[in-house]
Amino acid sequence: MCLLSLPTHRKPNEMKKDDRYKAILNWFITNMNEAESELNFSNNFELLVAVMLSAQCTDKRVNMVTPALFKAYPDAKTMSAATVDDVKRYISSISYPNSKAKHLVAMAQKLVTDFDGEVPSEIEALTSLPGVGRKTANVMEAVAFGKAAMPVDTHVFRVSNRLGLVKTTTPLATEKELTKHIPEDILSKAHHWLLLHGRYVCTSRAPKCDKCGLKAYCKEMEGKGE
Query: Which residues are catalytically annotated?
Result: 135, 153
Give whole-number Cα distances, 149 to 2, 50, 120, 123, in Å.
Answer: 20, 18, 15, 10
CA–CA separation, 159 vs 46, rounded Å?
Answer: 28
Cα 89–Cα 144–Cα 40 angle in degrees, nearest 5: 45
In our burial notation (b when 16+ CB lie closer than 10 A, e otherwise), range 131-167 reads bbebbbbbbbbbbbbebbbbbbbebbbbbbbbbbbbe
The answer to whether 104 and 79 are in contact (CB under 8 A) is yes
In our burial notation (b when 16+ CB lie closer than 10 A, e otherwise), range 63-73 reads bebbeebbeeb
Number of H helices, E strands in the chain: 11, 0
The answer to whether 101 and 54 are in contact (CB under 8 A) is no
CA–CA separation, 174 vs 192, rounded Å?
Answer: 15
